[in-house]
């Protein structure tokens, strides 16, 4: 008998022995302590073995996530802390380890949203999405003080002084460390050090940026990534939130929530059918951009009952919608409101008319456009986007203010200057648009990148721009179709018809969302089963549970009729061209 076969038998029996252990056998503080990575496992990091917690959970029902299907799971909830030599910090990590009989040699690292580095430690967070596929799933607190603490509350030590440790942990270090430690913990815990451990990353929004931060730096770290709507090109992304409000201020017109809602409804109604299917979903915002004339809405009547509210401000890490008592609204859509909308959609330009950035797609219920009702004056007023404002105060001006008090004195050129300043300042931490992924490609890593086409917080053209940058940098000598084909062998990008920011769209409920992404990715990585289209699931409304294909860029969806469920994925150069922008306000390339 050859040595290889002996090894296989020995290995097999070892993992069988381990697989027969019950969750309760291994989910103890003493067993986890014995499974911790060695003290010198990562240079400069010391684990605190006295900090270990371990608690078994069985028969936990998981439901209603956009990022994974419903399931019932068992897991061991483990936390421990570590410190960086010389920093005097304390970083907490949390792992959910599946029952030994369910472990499938997989590890999943997850990220956060807004200014949060994780998506919460509860059953509605990101960790169940790994456990249900037999993966150990992990998250970190970044060393910010607790799993609930966001980087924005620690980024300044005092006015004027950046907390660089927190910045780099948030930028990319934190996710890297929770992964390296988690993979080692996994192999020691299940005694599978001789078996290939498949490792994955999943995250959306800031979590998408965190994923990008890893694939741009650590080509060997994961076998596959699913990244949604990454908040990358951070300086541009954060400052552009202020553009919509600036257009309102410049024109001195603040559309009411009802007037704005009417403009949105009219846009959706006019553009719905351009994709071939009348389903309330703007599946082709590019055709909408080319063929819908906003002026046609001027004079349309609108009315809303009292207390009409839209879910206005997207607050980092969840947040609360604010409830304002609003009287009934009634009127006709004004030319001013339409001008504000047109300028908003045209995207940031400087005072010389040069393009600084791009905006959201028509049909997207842009958060930044929301105004606020002043019940004292009975007027609608500017509501400065706190996503944009907080970035300017905390990360550029370095003062502890959670928003700009107003946009007084702010011009289009101010936005450009802020972008340029932040771009330089955070190029190596938050910008996250390094376009050369040669090492990642050579390591055989697979990337599924998606973006809701009707994203209301991160323009979907932002993801298109990065994908195109990678293609142009990596395959300069090839024809367009050859380069898309080569790139698509390992990195695929999908615009999700109708979807909002990392979620289905309440205003277009019949659109799909890629809820089964991790499973699709696992099949691609472990079985070589590459997706041609991405599987989408309709998550809300009367069609909930139905599937709909999502086309891979640069192909665009086109339905043959309203009865057709799946689109054909077609090539349409004119449409593709509407997604590409020349940011000629800058001399440097913007990836």
Ligand X SMILES: *[C@@H]1O[C@H](CO)[C@@H](O)[C@H](O)[C@H]1NC(C)=O
- Contacts with ligand X, residue ranges (CB under 6 A): 53, 77, 79, 121-122, 159, 258, 261-262, 265, 302, 304, 306-307, 323, 325, 399-401
- Cα–Cα distance list, 380 to 237, 368, 570 (Å): 26, 15, 43
Q: Which is nearer to Ca ion, 283 or 459 (CB)?
A: 283
Q: Which is nearer to ligand X, 258 or 288 (CB)?
A: 258
281 contributes a contact to Ca ion by CB under 5 A: yes
Q: Which is nearer to Ca ion, 277 or 492 (CB)?
A: 277
Q: How far is the CB of 163 from ligand X (least distance, A)?
A: 15
Let me know if 501 is a catalytic residue: yes
Q: What angle do CA 104, 216, 209 make, to 5 degrees?
A: 80
* Residue 304 contacts which entry, Ca ion, ligand X, none (Cβ below 5-8 A, type-dependent): ligand X
Instruction: Spell out a b/e string for 132-144, using b for 16 or more CB atoms within 10 Å of the CB, else e.
Output: bbbbbbbbbbbbb
* Residue 555 contacts which entry, ligand X, Ca ion, none (Cβ below 5-8 A, type-dependent): none
Q: H or E element: which one contains 18? A: helix 3-20
| Options 74, 261, 501, 549, the catalytic residue | 501
**Helix, strand, coil percentages in the chain from 3-state DSSP, rounded to 5:** 35, 20, 45
Q: How far is the CB of 61 from ligand X (least distance, A)?
A: 13
538 contributes a contact to Ca ion by CB under 5 A: no
Q: Which is nearer to ligand X, 506 or 580 (CB)?
A: 506
Let me know if 449 is a catalytic residue: no
* Residue 325 contacts which entry, Ca ion, ligand X, none (Cβ below 5-8 A, type-dependent): ligand X
* Residue 74 contacts which entry, ligand X, Ca ion, none (Cβ below 5-8 A, type-dependent): none
Near Ca ion by CB under 5 A, which window of 265-273, 304-312, 332-340, 530-538?
A: 265-273
CA distance linking residue 196 with residue 193, whole number of Å: 8
- Cα–Cα distance list, 496 to 308, 353, 364 (Å): 29, 31, 13
556 contributes a contact to Ca ion by CB under 5 A: no
Asked whether 328 and 402 are in contact (CB, 8 A), the reply is: no
Phi-psi region of 147 (alpha: psi -120 to 50; beta: other; left: phi over 0): alpha
A 10 A CB-CB count for 329 gives 19
109 contributes a contact to Ca ion by CB under 5 A: no
* Residue 77 contacts which entry, Ca ion, ligand X, none (Cβ below 5-8 A, type-dependent): ligand X
Q: H or E element: which one contains 335? A: helix 335-346
Q: Which is nearer to ligand X, 1 or 306 (CB)?
A: 306
**Hey, what are 4's tokens?**
């290889």
Q: Which is nearer to Ca ion, 184 or 279 (CB)?
A: 279
How buried is residue 435: exposed, middle or buried, by Cβ count under 10 Å (0-12/13-18/19+)? middle
Near Ca ion by CB under 5 A, which window of 86-94, 228-236, 270-278, 517-525?
A: 270-278
CA distance linking residue 279 with residue 276, whole number of Å: 9
Near Ca ion by CB under 5 A, which window of 120-128, 167-175, 226-234, 280-288?
A: 280-288
Structure-token match 């959706």, residue found: 268
Q: How far is the CB of 275 from Ca ion (least distance, A)?
A: 4
**Hey, what are 249's tokens?**
């201020």
* Residue 275 contacts which entry, Ca ion, ligand X, none (Cβ below 5-8 A, type-dependent): Ca ion
Q: Find, among 450, 260, 410, 451, the residue nearest to 345 by Cα.
A: 260
Q: How far is the CB of 268 from Ca ion (least distance, A)?
A: 9
* Residue 281 contacts which entry, Ca ion, ligand X, none (Cβ below 5-8 A, type-dependent): Ca ion
Q: How far is the CB of 577 from Ca ion (least distance, A)?
A: 21
* Residue 272 contacts which entry, ligand X, Ca ion, none (Cβ below 5-8 A, type-dependent): Ca ion
283 contributes a contact to Ca ion by CB under 5 A: yes
Q: Which is nearer to ligand X, 222 or 365 (CB)?
A: 365
Question: What residues form DSSP beta bridges with 547?
Answer: 537
**Hey, what are 239's tokens?**
């400052």
* Residue 406 contacts which entry, Ca ion, ligand X, none (Cβ below 5-8 A, type-dependent): none
* Residue 307 contacts which entry, ligand X, Ca ion, none (Cβ below 5-8 A, type-dependent): ligand X
**Hey, what are 354's tokens?**
């040069």
**DSSP alpha helix (H) spans, 456-561:** 461-474, 480-488, 517-527
Q: Which is nearer to ligand X, 374 or 438 (CB)?
A: 374
- Cα–Cα distance list, 398 to 172, 431, 505 (Å): 21, 18, 35
| Options 15, 65, 126, 205, the catalytic residue | 205
Dmax of the chain from CA atoms? Answer: 89
177 contributes a contact to Ca ion by CB under 5 A: no
Q: How far is the CB of 503 from Ca ion (least distance, A)?
A: 19
Q: What angle do CA 378, 384, 386 make, to 5 degrees?
A: 130
362 contributes a contact to Ca ion by CB under 5 A: no
455 contributes a contact to Ca ion by CB under 5 A: no
| Options 367, 368, 455, 456, the catalytic residue | 455
Q: How far is the CB of 322 from ligand X (least distance, A)?
A: 10
Q: What are phi and psi of 162, to 5 degrees?
A: -75, 140
347 contributes a contact to Ca ion by CB under 5 A: no
Q: How far is the CB of 148 from ligand X (least distance, A)?
A: 9
Let me know if 455 is a catalytic residue: yes
Q: Which is nearer to ligand X, 470 or 538 (CB)?
A: 538
Strand pairing report for 446-452 and 491-496? parallel
272 contributes a contact to Ca ion by CB under 5 A: yes
Q: How far is the CB of 92 from ligand X (least distance, A)?
A: 8
Q: What are phi and psi of 189, to 5 degrees?
A: -65, -45
Q: Which long-range contacts (CB under 8 A, 24 or more apart) does 438-441 make?
A: 438/474, 439/219, 440/215, 440/216, 440/219, 440/490, 441/474, 441/490, 441/491
277 contributes a contact to Ca ion by CB under 5 A: yes
Q: What are phi and psi of 568, to 5 degrees?
A: -85, 150
Q: What are phi and psi of 180, to 5 degrees?
A: -60, -45
- Identified binder of Ca ion from the candidate list 141, 206, 275, 383, rule CB under 5 A: 275
Q: Which is nearer to Ca ion, 285 or 483 (CB)?
A: 285
Q: How far is the CB of 224 from ligand X (least distance, A)?
A: 26
CA distance linking residue 294 with residue 556, whole number of Å: 23
Residues that bind Ca ion (CB under 5 A): 272, 275, 277, 279, 281, 283
Active site residues per annotation:
205, 455, 501
């Amino acid at each position: 008998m050859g040595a290889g076969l002996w090894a296989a038998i020995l290995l097999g029996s070892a993992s069988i022995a381990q697989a027969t252990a019950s969750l309760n056998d291994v989910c103890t503080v003493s067993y986890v302590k014995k499974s911790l990575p060695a003290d010198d496992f990562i240079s400069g990091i010391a684990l605190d073995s006295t900090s270990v917690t371990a608690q078994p959970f069985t028969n936990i029902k998981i439901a209603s996530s956009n990022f994974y299907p419903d399931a019932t799971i068992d897991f061991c909830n483990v936390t421990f802390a570590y410190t960086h030599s010389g920093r005097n910090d304390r970083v907490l990590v949390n792992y959910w380890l599946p029952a030994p009989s369910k472990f499938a040699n997989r590890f999943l690292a997850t990220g956060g949203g807004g200014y949060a580095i994780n998506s919460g430690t509860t059953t509605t967070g990101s960790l169940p999405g790994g456990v249900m596929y037999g993966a150990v799933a992990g998250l970190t607190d970044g060393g910010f003080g607790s799993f609930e603490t966001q980087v924005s509350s620690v980024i300044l030590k005092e006015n004027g002084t950046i907390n660089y440790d927190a910045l780099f942990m948030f930028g990319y270090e934190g996710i890297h460390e929770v992964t390296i430690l988690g993979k080692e913990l996994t192999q020691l815990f299940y005694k599978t050090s001789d078996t290939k451990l498949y490792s994955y990353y999943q995250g959306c929004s800031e979590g998408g940026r965190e994923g990008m931060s890893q694939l741009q730096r650590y080509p060997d770290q994961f076998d596959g990534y699913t990244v949604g709507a990454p908040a990358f090109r951070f300086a541009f992304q954060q400052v552009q939130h202020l553009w919509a409000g600036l257009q309102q201020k410049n024109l001195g017109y603040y559309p009411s929530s009802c007037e704005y809602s009417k403009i949105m409804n009219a846009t959706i109604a006019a553009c719905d059918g351009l994709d071939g299917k009348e389903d309330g979903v703007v599946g082709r915002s590019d055709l909408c951009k080319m063929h819908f004339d906003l002026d046609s809405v001027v004079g349309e009547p609108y009315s809303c009952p009292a207390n009409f509210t839209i879910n206005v401000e997207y607050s980092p890490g969840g947040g609360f919608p604010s409830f304002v008592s609003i009287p009934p609204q009634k009127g006709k859509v004004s030319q001013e409101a339409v001008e504000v909308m047109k300028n908003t959609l045209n995207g940031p330009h400087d005072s010389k008319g040069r393009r600084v950035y791009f905006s959201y797609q028509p049909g997207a219920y842009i958060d930044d456009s929301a105004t606020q009702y002043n019940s004292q004056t009975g007027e609608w007023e500017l509501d400065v986007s706190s996503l944009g404002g907080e970035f300017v105060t905390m990360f550029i001006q370095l003062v502890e203010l959670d928003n700009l008090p107003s946009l007084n004195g702010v011009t289009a050129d101010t936005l450009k200057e802020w972008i340029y300043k932040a771009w330089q300042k955070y190029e190596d931490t938050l910008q996250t648009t390094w376009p050369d992924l040669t090492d990642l490609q050579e390591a055989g890593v697979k990337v599924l990148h998606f973006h809701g086409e009707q994203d209301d917080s991160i323009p979907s053209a932002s993801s298109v721009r990065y994908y195109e940058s990678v293609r142009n940098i990596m395959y300069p000598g090839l024809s367009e179709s050859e380069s898309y084909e080569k790139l698509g062998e390992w990195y695929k990008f999908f615009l999700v018809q109708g979807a909002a920011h990392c979620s289905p769209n309440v205003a277009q409920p019949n659109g799909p969302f890629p809820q089964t992404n991790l499973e699709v990715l696992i099949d691609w990585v472990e079985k070589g089963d590459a997706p041609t289209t991405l599987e989408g699931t309709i998550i809300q409304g009367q069609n909930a549970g139905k599937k709909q294909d999502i086309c891979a860029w640069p192909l665009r969806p086109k339905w043959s009729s309203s009865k057709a469920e799946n689109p054909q994925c077609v090539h349409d150069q004119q449409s593709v061209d509407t997604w590409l922008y020349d940011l000629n306000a800058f001399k440097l390339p913007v990836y």
